[in-house]
Chain A
Amino acid sequence: MMTGSSFFLSALAGLLACCIIQRYKLINPYILMVMMYVGINIILTASLNLINGYMGEFSVGHAGFMAVGAYVSSILTVRVFSAQYAQWFFPLALIAGGMGAGLVGMIVAIPSFKTRGDYLAIVTLAFNMIVKSAIENIDAIGGPRGFLGMHRLTTLPWIFIWTVLTLWIIRNFIYSNYGRGVLSIREDEVASELMGVHTRRVKVLTFVISSFFAGVAGGLFAHLLQFINPNSFNILKSTDILIMVYLGGVGSIIGSILGATIFTVLLEILRPLQVWRMVIMPLVLIFLMLFRPRGIMGLRELRLFVPEQYRKAVARWRLKRKKYDAVS
């Protein structure tokens, strides 16, 4: 029914490998840390790609939703759940963080999608700033000093599970009725509406799903670093996510994976160059935009990420047709 059992088997094998690596400390801590960052960034990139790549809107405040998820889940694990059970409640805290971000996403989406046009970019930009200064001014959660006390609950297996889950759900969503609505909005919003697509509902739904996963990524991030402050979720963080989307490729799951991986790993490799890496990264981007304006895998997809039912629809219909013709 899905991509077949091979998908699940490989996911299971990956999870097992992650558990073994984590348990027996097979990889040095630095590389492990980078791997976990890659996972978090894949979640962020894929979720933003849903809005900017698949739907063709332009949202620039993704870090704001990440912040909501990070703070909600951290407050839950530190203040609400008792410390000894915190690790058992961790998935719940992440989901709660995601739902918090999703709710906020809905509040942002409903007014900004009332009208057509470029308002979304401005609204999300403002939203990112509002979230940051709001957190700075709430002393109960540390204000500008930040929030700490989380245990290091984010482990490689958790990152793996959430990354696979995110990609799976986004893929499913795109290859469904609503997903086709999302794509048609990108292609031609007026025609889409006239084909009967409830464009406003589709847009809000997509935005909520996207911010949910940004919130989850925020929760994972908070419990990896064990410290968050409003500055970790400023507009620069949002820009990083945007770069990963456009580097890897708009409207593509494999593109999100590639974009997040290349960006994260490249930044680490270039670390010895210190300030100069902030010169090299933008240069890479400029050249990419010149030669591949849609990103590495823009609008293209790996077969693995296309559901079988979708891939084989035409072939199956032809077969059925042939059988029918043979009988009659």
Chain B
Amino acid sequence: MPCLEVKNLTHYFGGLCAVSDFNLALDAGELIGIIGPNGAGKTTIFNLITGIYRPTKGVVRFKGKDLTGLRPAAITVRGIARTFQNIRLFNNLSVLDNVRIAHYAGMKYTPLEGILHIGRFGREEERISESSLELLDRFNISELAETEARNLPYGMQRRLEIVRALATKPLLLLLDEPAAGMNPSEVHRLIDFVRIIRKEFSLTIILIEHQMRLVMGVCERIMVLDFGATIAEGTPEEIQNNPKVLEAYLGQEAAV
């Protein structure tokens, strides 16, 4: 049974078809890339998988269970986490709080215990503070735990967003253009970073990316979208030589 199974996923914005008949079967541990020109529907696919949009047609199955119609939070709890194209951290909160919030669903105390600070409150808070700090420490951000997230340098904010996603204990991680705005050496470090987290957290990863260097460097399989339709699928080498892909990226004449 595939880890993630997407069948005939279709989504319309009014009359505009953003995604049409998208199919995907992803085994546990795989790392695939989705590429395509701007407006090809890549982010929409993530929004459909994570429940932000409800698909017009089609099913998303995760570990055999249908996800369609669930709230985004419920989908996160089942083990799908994501990052955003434009970083969406909780800017006015500390780095530590950003990670703590990601533990929300795993907290075992009632609102009453929370309001009165009694019962399991103390122990649970201690537990998530520690596990958040351990996680930050693994990625060398623990020194900045009390800094407000908006004061972090750009590359660090990207990293924190991934760490925050990891704190929800995902099985499947969706990375939406993690290298946007990065210079070549930062991209290089990001490639290592993605490899490390994939191994350490035994993750399945879907990566949306514009930067070919990153996609070709880490992905085993690549899907190419254009105007919502899947136009090619295969290994990085196959994709690089696919005339349809060249056409989508460079225009018809260049491909000929």
Q: Mark A293-324, 1 if CB is under 8 A from B, else 0.
A: 00000010000000101100110010010000
Q: Is the CB of B72 within 8 A of A183?
A: no
CB interface residues, B 112-168, toward A, < 8 Å: 114-117, 121-122, 124-126, 129-130, 133, 145-146, 164, 168
Could you tell me the distance in whole angstroms from the C-beta of B158 to the nearest C-beta in chain A? Answer: 14
Q: In the complex the two chains form, what is the Cα distance from A176 to B82 in whole Å? A: 24
Q: Is the CB of B117 within 8 A of A196?
A: no
Q: A309-B125, A317-B129 are in contact. Are A176 and B72 (CB under 8 A)?
A: no
B59 on the A face (CB < 8 A): no
A79 on the B face (CB < 8 A): no
9-residue interface stretch from B7-15, B35-43, B83-91, B244-252: B83-91
Q: Is the CB of A187 within 8 A of B92?
A: yes
A219 on the B face (CB < 8 A): no
Q: Mark B71-88, 1 if CB is under 8 A from A, else 0.
A: 111001100011010001
Q: A1-B117, A172-B116, A180-B104 are in contact. Are A188 and B73 (CB under 8 A)?
A: no
Q: Mark A172-200, 1 if CB is under 8 A from B, else 0.
A: 11001111110110011011111111111
9-residue interface stretch from B18-26, B93-101, B222-230, B235-243: B93-101
Chain A residue at smallest Cβ distance from B47: A190
Chain A residue at smallest Cβ distance from B107: A177
Q: Is the CB of A196 within 8 A of B168?
A: yes
Chain B residue at smallest Cβ distance from A173: B115
Q: A176-B117, A177-B114, A193-B73 are in contact. Are A314 and B93 (CB under 8 A)?
A: no
Could you tell me the distance in whole angstroms from the C-beta of A185 to the nearest C-beta in chain B? Answer: 10
Chain A residue at smallest Cβ distance from B84: A191
Q: A196-B76, A197-B101 are in contact. Are A187 and B90 (CB under 8 A)?
A: yes
- Name B114's contact: one of A172, A187, A198 (CB within 8 Å): A172
* Chain B residues within 8 Å of A197, by CB: 73, 101, 104-105
* Chain A residues within 8 Å of B88, by CB: 188, 190-191
A108 on the B face (CB < 8 A): no
Q: A176-B121, A187-B92 are in contact. Are A317 and B50 (CB under 8 A)?
A: no
Chain B residue at smallest Cβ distance from A194: B72
Q: Is the CB of A195 within 8 A of B76?
A: yes
A205 on the B face (CB < 8 A): yes
* Chain A residues within 8 Å of B101, by CB: 180-181, 183-184, 192, 195, 197
Q: Is the CB of B111 within 8 A of A196?
A: no
Question: Of residues B84, B117, B130, which shows the largest number of chain A Cβ atoms within 10 Å of its Cβ?
Answer: B117
Could you tell me the distance in whole angstroms from the C-beta of A163 to the nearest C-beta in chain B? Answer: 17
B207 on the A face (CB < 8 A): no
A2 on the B face (CB < 8 A): yes
A34 on the B face (CB < 8 A): no
* Chain B residues within 8 Å of A309, by CB: 122, 125-126
A92 on the B face (CB < 8 A): no
Q: A183-B90, A187-B90 are in contact. Are A195 and B116 (CB under 8 A)?
A: no
Q: In the complex the two chains form, what is the Cα distance from A220 to B71 in whole Å? A: 41
A286 on the B face (CB < 8 A): no
* Chain A residues within 8 Å of B109, by CB: 176-177
Q: Is the CB of A2 within 8 A of B96?
A: no
A169 on the B face (CB < 8 A): yes
Q: Is the CB of B114 within 8 A of A195?
A: no
Could you tell me the distance in whole angstroms from the C-beta of B166 to the nearest C-beta in chain A? Answer: 11
Could you tell me the distance in whole angstroms from the C-beta of B250 to the nearest C-beta in chain A? Answer: 34
Chain B residue at smallest Cβ distance from A176: B114
Q: Is the CB of B115 within 8 A of A190?
A: no
Q: Is the CB of B105 within 8 A of A173?
A: no
Q: In the complex the two chains form, what is the Cα distance from A197 to B164 in whole Å? A: 13
Question: Of residues B89, B115, B146, B164, which shows the largest number of chain A Cβ atoms within 10 Å of its Cβ?
Answer: B115
Q: In the complex the two chains form, what is the Cα distance from A172 to B111 in whole Å? A: 10
B102 on the A face (CB < 8 A): yes
Could you tell me the distance in whole angstroms from the C-beta of B216 to the nearest C-beta in chain A? Answer: 28
Q: In the complex the two chains form, what is the Cα distance from A188 to B72 in whole Å? A: 14
Q: In the complex the two chains form, what is the Cα distance from A314 to B145 in whole Å? A: 7
* Chain B residues within 8 Å of A194, by CB: 50, 52, 72-73, 76, 81-82
Could you tell me the distance in whole angstroms from the C-beta of B113 to the nearest C-beta in chain A? Answer: 8
Q: Is the CB of B133 within 8 A of A173?
A: no
Q: In the complex the two chains form, what is the Cα distance from A292 to B127 in whole Å? A: 38
Q: Is the CB of B145 within 8 A of A195?
A: no
Q: Is the CB of A317 within 8 A of B130?
A: yes
Q: In the complex the two chains form, what is the Cα distance from A191 to B52 in whole Å? A: 10
Q: Is the CB of B82 within 8 A of A314?
A: no
Contacts A188-B91, A194-B76, A200-B71 aside, 9 further interface pairs with beta carbons under 8 A come to A179-B114, A188-B88, A191-B89, A193-B72, A196-B76, A198-B71, A307-B117, A313-B129, A320-B130
- Residues on B lying within 8 angstroms of A by beta carbon are 50, 52, 71-73, 76-77, 81-82, 84, 88-93, 96-97, 100-105, 107, 109, 111, 114-117, 121-122, 124-126, 129-130, 133, 145-146, 164, 168
Give me 9 A-to-B residue pairs in the complex whose CB atoms sit less than 8 angstroms apart, sorted by A's number. Answer: A184-B93, A188-B89, A191-B90, A193-B72, A195-B164, A195-B168, A196-B105, A205-B111, A309-B122
Q: Which 4 pairs between the two chains have the least Cβ-Cβ distance?
A: A176-B114, A187-B90, A196-B105, A191-B88
